[in-house]
Amino acid sequence: MSTQLNFPATIGTLYLLAEDADALALVDQFSARQVQLLSLLAMTYGDAGDAFRRLSPALQDNYLWACSMLAREMQDLFEALRARRAM
């Protein structure tokens, strides 16, 4: 059973999880995306957020869009993990 990943930058089935992807692979990918998202978001507030707020509005939008894509991928990975565990 291939699980489609729904990235907002694509339409259709550009990305599919491999049918033989096991729960550990999904957890590893989820963990990697979580750390990446936390790192990106750490640059948007507090003292580090000053540099973010000096970016142009277009760059701020693109930066936060990247954060959103990571969060959506994490959601897809979580759903895929839950589906595999239910089998």
Q: CA–CA separation, 13 vs 4, rounded Å? A: 6
**73 burial via Cβ count (<10 Å: 0-12, 13-18, 19+):** buried
Q: What is the pLDDT of residues 42-80, one digit of tens each?
A: 999 999 999 999 999 999 999 999 999 999 999 989 998
Q: CA–CA separation, 48 vs 53, rounded Å? A: 9
The residue behind tokens 């550990």 is 24
Map out the domains of the chain as residue ranges.
Answer: 23-86
With CA atoms as reference, report the closest residue to 73 among 42, 31, 45.
Answer: 31
Q: What is the pLDDT of residue 13?
A: 65
